[in-house]
Amino acid sequence: MSVPVIAIDGPAGSGKSTVARGVAQTLGWSFLDTGAMYRAVACEALFKGLEIHDEVAVATLADQSEITTLPRVTINGRDVEDEIRTPAINEAVSVVAAQPLVRRAMVSRQRAWAASQSEGTVVEGRDITTVVFPDATLKVFLTASIEERARRRGDESASSVARRDEADSNRTNSPLRQAADALFVDTTGRAVDEVVKEIVACLTTHR
């Protein structure tokens, strides 16, 4: 691996995006939200009227689409930043993310992204520590209580968050798992800055 990578996994609402962004900002590194990539693919599949369970069709779309996550989430030039957080996409994304061919397309893009960075990068998702970058410089597993995670998700209900966790953790392909050598951080009741500092401090002992 040419650039240092901090890989962060955890369930919905565990604070991954906020913490990953904070760590990246502190270090002057780039940041990749891989959940936004899967969400963008789900949006485009619905937009194009694809049958969401048609794995080959969705994976072909994933392969052929241009996706950006910053400064806005776009797919094939269409801004989907707001649409990716809607209930319809919360449901559809679990279907899309369980499809092995879609995952294969996403994983290769995520590795290409890291390879193209000049400094380090912070990448967050569900399979980043276990599948995408098992040799990352530092691996982190974030979690928080279900009540706090649902509260952080704002308008997504606790039952919807729990349903998605269940689907993400029990799917056959790349389920959410804590890597044995990942730093475990429970963010319940903790300030973002404090968690960011803990991860940055841990990096210095891992380099």
Q: Which residues bind ligand DC (CB under 6 A)?
A: 12, 34-35, 38-39, 93-94, 97, 125-128, 164, 168
What angle, rounded to 10 degrees, do the helices at 100-115 and 87-97 form? 90
Q: Which is nearer to ligand DC, 18 or 76 (CB)?
A: 18
Q: E strand or H helix at 105, and its extent?
A: helix 100-115
Least separation in angstroms between CB 204 and ligand DC: 26
Least separation in angstroms between CB 147 and ligand DC: 17
DSSP string, 111-154: HHHHHT-SS-EEEEESSIIIII-TT-SEEEEEE--HHHHHHHTT
Least separation in angstroms between CB 1 and ligand DC: 17
Return the closest-CA partner of residue 53 out of 114, 86, 98: 98
Least separation in angstroms between CB 197 and ligand DC: 23
Q: Which is nearer to ligand DC, 199 or 205 (CB)?
A: 199
Least separation in angstroms between CB 26 and ligand DC: 21
Q: Which is nearer to ligand DC, 177 or 190 (CB)?
A: 177
- Give whole-number Cα distances, 164 to 151, 188, 199, 202, in Å: 15, 19, 26, 30
Least separation in angstroms between CB 163 and ligand DC: 10
Helix or strand or coil: residue 180? coil
Q: Which is nearer to ligand DC, 107 or 183 (CB)?
A: 107
Q: Which is nearer to ligand DC, 35 or 120 (CB)?
A: 35
Q: Which is nearer to ligand DC, 93 or 207 (CB)?
A: 93
How far apart (Å, rounded) are the C-alpha atoms in residues 11 and 26?
23
Neighbours of 204 (CB within 10 A): 8
